[in-house]
Chains A and B, each alone.
Chain A
Amino acid sequence: MIRRLRKIRVAKNFRFRLYLLFTATIALLTAAFASFYLITEVNAFRSTLEREGRLLATVLAQNARLPLFAENREALDLLAASTARYPSVLFVSISNAEGVALTEVKSPRYPGAGAIDMTVEITSPGLVPSPEAVLLGRAPAQEKRVIGRVQLRLDTSGAKERLKKLVAATLALGTLFWIVVSLLSYQILKRVTSSFNLLMRGIEEIGSGNLSARVNLDSDDELGRGANAINAMAASLELRELENLSLQEELLHSMKLEVQEEKKRVMARLIHTNKMTSLGLLLSSMAHEINNPNASIRFSGHIIAKIWSDVVPLLDGVWREEGEFYLGGLPFQQARGALAENAARIVENSDRIARVVQGLREYGVGGGARLRPDLQINVAVEAALFVLACQMQQEVWLKTALGSDIPVITGDQHQIEQVLINLILNAMQSFPEGRGEVLLSTRHDRAASEVVIEVEDGGAGISAETMERLFEPFFSTKLDRGGSGLGLYISQYIVAEHGGRLQLTSTPGKGTRAWVTLPVGGAPL
Chain B
Amino acid sequence: MQFLRTLLACLLILAPLPAFGYDILVLQSLRETGYDESVKGVKRECSATMRTVVLSDHAETDVTRIIREEHPRLVIAVGDRALEVAQKQRSAPVLYMMALHARPRQKGSVTGVGMLFDPARYLSVFDSLGSKKVGVLGDPLKNGAYLKKAQAQAKRSGIELVVREVHSPRDTLAMLDSLRGKVDALWMLPDSTAVSPETTEAYFLLSQGERVPLVSFAEVYLSMGGAVTLGIDRFDIGRQLGIMAQSVLNGTPAEEIPAQSPRRSVLKVNERVLRQLKISIAGGG
Contact = CB atoms under 8 A, between A and B. Distances in A.
A131 B174 CA distance: 20
B198 A147 contact: yes
B100 A131 contact: yes
Interface in A220-258: none
A126 B115 CA distance: 24
Given A70-B174, A129-B220, A136 B32 contact: yes
Contacts of B190: 131-132, 134-135
A330 to B, nearest CB: 183
A138 interface: yes
Interface string A372-402: 0000000000000000000000000000000
B205 to A, nearest CB: 8
Contacts of A145: 197
Interface size, A (range): 20 to 34
Nearest to B219: A134
B271 interface: no
A71 interface: yes
Nearest to A62: B201
Given A129-B220, A140-B220, A124 B100 contact: no
B201 A70 contact: no
A125 B98 CA distance: 25
B148 to A, nearest CB: 20
Contact of B170 (A71, A125, A126, A137): A71
A455 B174 CA distance: 163
A331 interface: no
B192 A131 contact: yes
Among B32, B169, B172, B197, the one with the most A-chain Cβ atoms within 10 Å of its Cβ is B197
B202 interface: yes
Interface in A341-393: none
A134 B229 CA distance: 12
B106 interface: no
Interface string B143-163: 000000000000000000000
A112 B191 CA distance: 49
A63 to B, nearest CB: 10
A134 B197 CA distance: 11
Interface string B182-212: 0000000011100111111110010000000
B198 A69 contact: yes
A44 interface: no
A78 interface: no
A124 B195 contact: no
A65 interface: yes
A128 B98 contact: no
Contacts of B217: 131, 134-135
A136 B224 contact: no
Contacts of A70: 170-174
A222 B14 CA distance: 106
Contact of A66 (B171, B195, B201): B201
Among A70, A129, A140, A145, the one with the most B-chain Cβ atoms within 10 Å of its Cβ is A70
Contact of A125 (B115, B171, B201): B201
Interface in A64-116: 65-67, 69-72
Given A72-B173, A131-B100, A135-B190, A125 B34 contact: no
B170 A128 contact: no
B34 A135 contact: yes
A71 B98 CA distance: 33
Given A136-B32, A136-B33, A136-B34, A124 B173 contact: no
B122 interface: no
A132 B100 contact: yes
B232 interface: yes
Contacts of B96: none
Contacts of B34: 135-138
B164 interface: no
A217 B180 CA distance: 97
A333 interface: no
A257 B20 CA distance: 155
Among A126, A129, A130, A137, the one with the most B-chain Cβ atoms within 10 Å of its Cβ is A137
Contacts of B199: 66, 69
Contacts of B172: 70
Nearest to A132: B100
B202 A135 contact: no
A124 B197 contact: yes
B249 interface: no
Interface in B230-281: 232, 234
Nearest to A131: B190
Nearest to B35: A136
B197 A132 contact: no
B84 interface: no
A131 B217 CA distance: 8
Contacts of A126: 197
Interface string A261-304: 00000000000000000000000000000000000000000000
A172 to B, nearest CB: 54
A138 to B, nearest CB: 7
Contacts of A138: 32-34
B33 A66 contact: no
B127 interface: no
Contacts of B100: 131-132, 135
A130 B205 CA distance: 18
Nearest to B195: A131
B37 interface: yes
Interface in A136-159: 136-138, 140, 145, 147
B196 A137 contact: no
Given A131-B192, A132-B100, A124 B198 contact: yes
B53 interface: no
Among B98, B202, B218, the one with the most A-chain Cβ atoms within 10 Å of its Cβ is B218
Nearest to A70: B173
Contacts of B224: 128
Contacts of A65: 198, 201
A134 B202 contact: no
Contact of A135 (B171, B198, B232): B232
**A-B pairs with lowest CB-CB distance, top 3:** A136-B34, A70-B173, A131-B190
Given A124-B197, A131-B195, 18 more contacts: A65-B201, A66-B173, A66-B205, A69-B198, A70-B172, A128-B200, A128-B201, A128-B224, A129-B220, A134-B217, A134-B218, A134-B221, A135-B190, A135-B218, A136-B98, A136-B234, A137-B33, A138-B33
22 contacts: A65-B198, A66-B198, A66-B201, A69-B169, A70-B173, A71-B170, A128-B200, A128-B224, A129-B197, A130-B192, A131-B195, A131-B218, A132-B192, A134-B220, A135-B34, A135-B190, A135-B217, A136-B98, A138-B34, A140-B220, A145-B197, A147-B198
Interface of B: 32-35, 37, 80, 98, 100, 115, 169-174, 190-192, 195-202, 205, 217-218, 220-221, 224, 232, 234
Interface of A: 65-67, 69-72, 124-126, 128-132, 134-138, 140, 145, 147
